[in-house]
Chains A and B, each alone.
Chain A
Amino acid sequence: MFVRSPSSSRLQAVLTLVPVAFVVLSVYVGGVLWAAGISFTRSSMLPNYRFAGFAQYINLFSNARWQVSLGNMALFAAIFIPATLLIGYSMAAMINRGVRGENALRTIYLYPFAMSFIVTGLVWRWLLDPNFGIADVARKLGFENASFNWIVNADMAIFTIIIAAIWHSSGLVMVVLLAGLRGVDDDLWKAIRIEGIPAWKAHLFIIMPSIGASIATALVLMSLTVVRLFDVVVAMTGGGPGIATDVPAKFIIDHMFERQQVGLASAAATTLLLLVLVVAVPLLYLKDRRKGAAR
């Protein structure tokens, strides 16, 4: 039989991808659908299939902890994503100007990211401890009335977590954006200099748009951090004081395992997925259209 080589390589590609596709469909998509299904049952410790309608969702949204969790995630996203992008970009732009000791600076900036979120959380927890942390150092230096108690204050604790997370992740954003900046053509910089465009204008209107792909990558990475937010909260505040720093992932894990409320936890997980889709789908659509326009 005569087989043309292009189609045979295509067949090879298809064959190679079949196991991956199978895993993706059965494990990921299958798992998601199963969890969504379980969220409509009365499952507690073990999954069962006694239909409960929207009862778990009604329970979920009347649960104060869940409401606080969602609010915290929104607040976290609103501050964390712009702040890491801004700080990361500033650090990248600075290093890109060819400062001395670039390697050392790059290492220092990226260093926090080498630590796990758990370690980050524990370090910041002790730094911010009202009795033993920075506040104590300040008192010993002579500022006797110094006090910094955000971490034990229900209204402010979430901001301590945001600060720790920004410290942790800005370095990663810097590396991603620095790679983008290194790809900017030297001629462009020359043109900017000849035209005498102020630096901030050049960055905002010329350089940033030309590294759109890097910014999008950083944006996706930081958004994932927001949705996954769990370990730093557990290490720093355990969701407290009270329930002030609870986040959706912690709510789901607590109810899925310790509290044996699989149905409620699945309802929470499904809600979280829907929220992510509501945000992600328009973004992907927008990206697709821009690609189409560029063509």
Chain B
Amino acid sequence: MEYRGDSLPAGIQEEEQTLISKLLLAATAATALCFAASANAEDIKAEVIHQWTSAAESAGVKVLARKFTELGGTWVDNAISGGPNARSTAVNRVVGGNPPAAMLFNTGAQFVELQDNGLLRDLTETAKADGWQNKMPAALLNSGIVDGEIWALPISGNGANWFWFNKPILDKIGVAKPKNWDEVFAALDKAKAAGLAPFAPSGEPRWQRLMFNAVVLGVAGRETYDAVIYKRDASAVRGEKFKAAVKVFGRLRDYADAGAPGRSWPDSTNLVISGKALMTQGGTWLNGAFAAAGKTAGTDYECAIINPEQGMVISGDVFLFPEPKNAAMTKAQDLLLKAFADVPTQTAFAVANGTIPILKGADTSKLNPCIAEASRFFNDAKLSTGSDQMMFTPAIVGAVEDAITRFSTKGGLTAEQFIEAYAKGLSAS
């Protein structure tokens, strides 16, 4: 069941060794070719800028790099810690006329301005030839489409609206895994009565925004959620259903422990892992933290979407390919595209990375139960919808995030003020 067991370090080591030996081989071969012919021996070099630096993430990158090397390319790794840092570096390089072959962005509207300025390569033809339409979930692929053309290749997928529970505490207070909001609040009350911290949410503004979206989808429902996120419909924000979601969010906030403001998601998850708190909220990436602590889904912890019939909020990362400077770069990008959209490679990447395999036909038997369940939502168009980051420009994401974090703070905005601030934020630029 667990793919992050004891065997993994050895596996990675092995991967590393084969990678190194392959790189050495490739280098030797390249040198030999240079000496032999000195012509047509050009290296297909591709520099890739990304922010995958954690243990699981870099294991994932190695899978991609190995496939690219197998196909005959030379992978030039440029890992920069922190998403915004990696993206600013990549954008500066592109604008400065020295673009990398590929760069990692979050799924969504982050890339639109680069595309608008003609700085990105149009991937429509490659996508048609490779049948991306049939390989990927529509919500994910659509987020990379502008004016009917494809500009981004989805690479990883996550589900964002999950709640995570400490199983021994659930057992102790005699409650089954909650499925709706009434059951959630009943469980929280019982945990509180037992003298435990009921809810340990992450306190950073972006995770508060993530949780708010989970509550909107789970309380106000898919229709309202989609109207707000996809159409930026301010009247839906001012409607009764949204108001009900705001109320539930406010109630959840009142169950949060005193240390929540400003706390990172790993610290919050740790409180649930160590049995100090019953519940936390976060995307499928939390599963990695439980697994790394040696916990097993179902016996040590539980994962649930509250009101699952409304579906899952999906998010993820995409690779962007800057407009190539020369034929060699085009060739390198073609090879990268081939490696990234290869089903077995993609699946191996997702397993190593702890994210959802995004291509259809992936072998899900090696997945942990939580990820397997997320994968089921992910591949069902009726049960998956986009995250705000996919549809909003970064300016709007920022504006609604400010509103949400001010509402999440005791003594901050009232529900009415918050709804107005959120509605106004939808037209930020």
Contacts and interface: CB of A to CB of B under 8 A. Distances in A.
Decide if the interface of chain B is mainly helix, strand, loop or mixed.
helix
Contacts of B429: 42, 44, 261
A241 B203 contact: yes
A64 interface: yes
A44 B398 CA distance: 13
A129 B398 contact: no
Nearest to A263: B429
Interface string B81-114: 0001001100100010000000000000010011
B203 A240 contact: yes
A65 interface: yes
A154 interface: yes
A60 interface: no
Given A257-B84, A257-B88, A238 B262 contact: yes
A237 B203 CA distance: 10
Interface string B252-273: 0000011111100000000000
A76 to B, nearest CB: 18
B204 A154 contact: no
Given A45-B113, A259-B398, A238 B204 contact: yes
Contacts, number: 93
B409 to A, nearest CB: 3
A65 B88 CA distance: 23
Nearest to A259: B398
B114 A154 contact: no
B395 A261 contact: yes
Interface string B391-421: 0011101100010011011111000000001
Interface in B195-212: 203-205
B117 interface: yes
A149 B410 CA distance: 12
Interface in B101-139: 110, 113-114, 117
Contacts of B397: 259
A129 B259 contact: yes
B409 A154 contact: yes
B395 to A, nearest CB: 5
A151 B205 CA distance: 16
A165 interface: no
B398 A46 contact: no
A131 B410 contact: no
Contact of A154 (B87, B91, B113, B411): B411
A260 B203 CA distance: 23
A152 B257 CA distance: 10
Interface string A149-178: 101111100000000000000000000000
A261 B408 CA distance: 24
Contact of B409 (A44, A64, A244): A244
A132 B262 CA distance: 14
Contacts of A154: 409-412
A92 to B, nearest CB: 35
A258 B406 contact: no
Nearest to A125: B262
7 contacts: A131-B258, A259-B395, A260-B110, A260-B393, A260-B395, A261-B395, A261-B398
Interface of A: 42, 44-46, 64-65, 125, 129-132, 149, 151-155, 236-244, 254-255, 257-261
Given A65-B402, A259-B394, 9 more contacts: A154-B410, A240-B205, A241-B261, A241-B409, A241-B412, A243-B402, A243-B406, A257-B84, A259-B397
